[in-house]
Amino acid sequence: MKEFAIHSVYLATEGEGVRVGTPQVFVRFMGCNIGCINCDSKDTWEFTEPNYSLDELLSVIEAESGVNERRVKNISITGGDPLHPKHIPAILKLSKTLKQKGYFINIEASGMRVVDEIFDLIDFVSFDIKTPSTGVKFNEKALLKLITQYGEKAQVKAVIQNRHDFDFVYDIYTKIEKETPDLKTPFVLTPCFEPGENLPKVLVQSIVELNQAIGAPFKVILQQHKVIYSSDFGNF
């Protein structure tokens, strides 16, 4: 039975956030109705019919991860919006099976909702703050729940396109810090740029300097895959 609506499965290196540089198999689900203006995965928005059974999906994941005991045992479940209610039964089933096989599982969460049955099971949650430049309403309740319940195995990520975005995240951070004095969850700022664009150095430098000026509560991390695949560094 086909249960999984999959855009693609591929081995690559994590390009953003605190796990940057970690090789992992990306399992990218189809379907997202959140509609971020600066989304770089619009080809995953459509809710298509399931195209993989569990066995088919596992065999593609295992083929991508390698065949011997040195196989890559990291999975990133992403999309689309893998936590859209339509996907929950499928993600739960996949996560349980992958955990039984010893994989480390990260999920890319849009920040719209916390799904306890999945977050309890997996190893790491990358949770978005939707900044004003995304055009999407930020879900404060969901972020507080994430930090309270899953803060020790999560990061909070925000795409920063301008000063307004930066101030928005700083306000949220300040509020959460007051309510959670032993806050351990890393907050990551991701300077916004598209594949094919030149790296916006002025934006990146401004974010770094603003962060330093307020005592550096954030990590500023570029999307390295976009740097690598946007620029011509010559042959190896």
In this structure, which amino acid lies at residue 16?
A: E
Closest distance of CB 88 from ligand SF4, Å: 16
Q: Does 165 bind ligand SF4 (CB under 6 A)?
A: no
Position 79 contacts ligand SF4 (CB under 6 A): yes
Give dist(CA 216, CA 35) in Å, integer. 30
Q: Per the structure block, which two tokens stand in for 157?
A: 């990520």
State how far the Cα of 92 lies from the Cα of 118, in Å rounded to an integer: 6
- Contact flag: residue 110 with ligand SF4 (CB under 6 A): yes
Strands 187-191 and 219-220: parallel
80 binds ligand SF4 (CB under 6 A): yes
Going by C-beta distance under 8 Å and a sequence separation of 6 or more, which residues neighbour residue 217? 170, 173, 177, 187, 211
Q: Identify the residue among 39, 54, 88, 121 touching ligand SF4 (CB under 6 A).
A: 39
What residue has token string 């059974």? 53
CB of 216 to ligand SF4, least distance (A): 26
Q: Is 54 a binder of ligand SF4 (CB under 6 A)?
A: no
We find the least distance from the C-beta atom of residue 180 to ligand SF4, in angstroms, to be: 25
- From 32-40, 82-90, 92-100, 167-175, span contacting ligand SF4 (CB under 6 A): 32-40
CB of 38 to ligand SF4, least distance (A): 8
Q: What's the min distance (Å) between Cβ of 36 and ligand SF4? A: 3
27: contact with ligand SF4 by CB under 6 A:
no
Q: In what order do the strands lie in the sheet containing 154-160?
A: 6-13, 23-29, 74-78, 104-109, 124-129, 154-160, 187-191, 219-220
The answer for 97, left when phi > 0, alpha when psi is -120 to 50, beta otherwise, is: alpha
Q: Which residues bind ligand SF4 (CB under 6 A)?
A: 32, 34-36, 39, 41, 44, 79-81, 110
